[in-house]
């Protein structure tokens, strides 16, 4: 009889290289999307110091996510999900690079933060939907 453990079983990460690669990629993706959810409002708050603009930025990101979820479901049913996930995550990464470049400029653009927040909301949701549709629908 095996002794029950209160810790997570990480044996799959040790023995299966494909699972390890997927786990690491998914972990990086979740951390990056989480940082994005914090970075856009923080950048907007630091630039014009307006809580109303912070709300607008979060609303635009949410609207992008809403449209991305709807679009991602349709595209995941019509196209190869693996390519769709890679395209969405890569495009989202470009948006994160754009936010980083905007942040280090001498005069960062508020409109660029709005646009890139909308961009990353859309493509982040598109990738998540394609990933989830893969898990629940027949291939």
- Domain interval for residue 62: 55-139
Is residue 47, in this structure, part of any structural domain at all?
no
Is residue 34, in this structure, part of any structural domain at all?
no
Residues recorded for the chain: 139
Please name the residue that has the structure tokens 């909301």. 121
Q: 68: buried, middle or exposed (CB in 10 Å: 19+, 13-18, 0-12)?
A: buried
pTM across the whole model: 0.79
Is residue 128, in this structure, part of any structural domain at all?
yes
Ordered alpha helix ranges (H), 4-109: 11-15, 17-46, 51-78, 81-104
- CA distance linking residue 57 with residue 43, whole number of Å: 10
Is residue 127, in this structure, part of any structural domain at all?
yes
Radius of gyration of the chain (CA): 18
60 closest CA partner among 133, 128, 121: 121
Is residue 111, in this structure, part of any structural domain at all?
yes
Cα–Cα distances in angstroms (integers) from residue 60 to residues 52, 56, 63, 66, 111, in the given order: 12, 6, 5, 10, 11
Total domains, the chain: 1
Contacts 24+ apart (CB under 8 A), 15-22: none
pLDDT tens sequence for the chain (139 residues):
455 667 787 888 889 888 888 888 888 888 888 888 888 899 899 888 889 999 999 999 999 999 999 999 889 889 888 899 889 988 988 988 999 999 899 999 999 999 999 999 999 899 888 877 555 544 4
Is residue 106, in this structure, part of any structural domain at all?
yes
* Half-sphere exposure of residue 135: CA atoms within 13 angstroms, side-chain side: 6
Give me the pLDDT at residue 9, please.
Answer: 78
Give me the pLDDT at residue 105, please.
Answer: 93
Give me the pLDDT at residue 131, please.
Answer: 79
Is residue 100, in this structure, part of any structural domain at all?
yes
Give me the pLDDT at residue 122, please.
Answer: 95
Neighbours of 128 (CB within 10 A): 21
Give me the pLDDT at residue 5, please.
Answer: 63
């Amino acid at each position: 009889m095996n002794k029950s453990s209160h810790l997570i079983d990480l044996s799959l990460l040790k023995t299966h290289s494909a699972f390890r690669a997927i786990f690491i990629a998914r972990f990086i993706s979740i951390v990056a999307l989480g940082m994005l959810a914090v970075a856009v409002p923080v950048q907007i708050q630091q630039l014009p110091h307006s809580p109303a603009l912070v709300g607008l930025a979060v609303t635009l990101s949410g609207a992008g996510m809403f449209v991305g979820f709807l679009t991602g479901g349709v595209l995941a049913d019509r196209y190869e999900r693996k390519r769709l996930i890679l395209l969405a995550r890569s495009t989202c990464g470009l948006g994160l690079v754009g936010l980083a470049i905007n942040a280090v400029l001498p005069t960062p653009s508020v409109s660029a933060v709005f646009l890139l927040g909308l961009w990353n909301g859309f493509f982040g949701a598109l990738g998540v939907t394609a990933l989830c549709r893969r898990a629940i629908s027949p291939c």
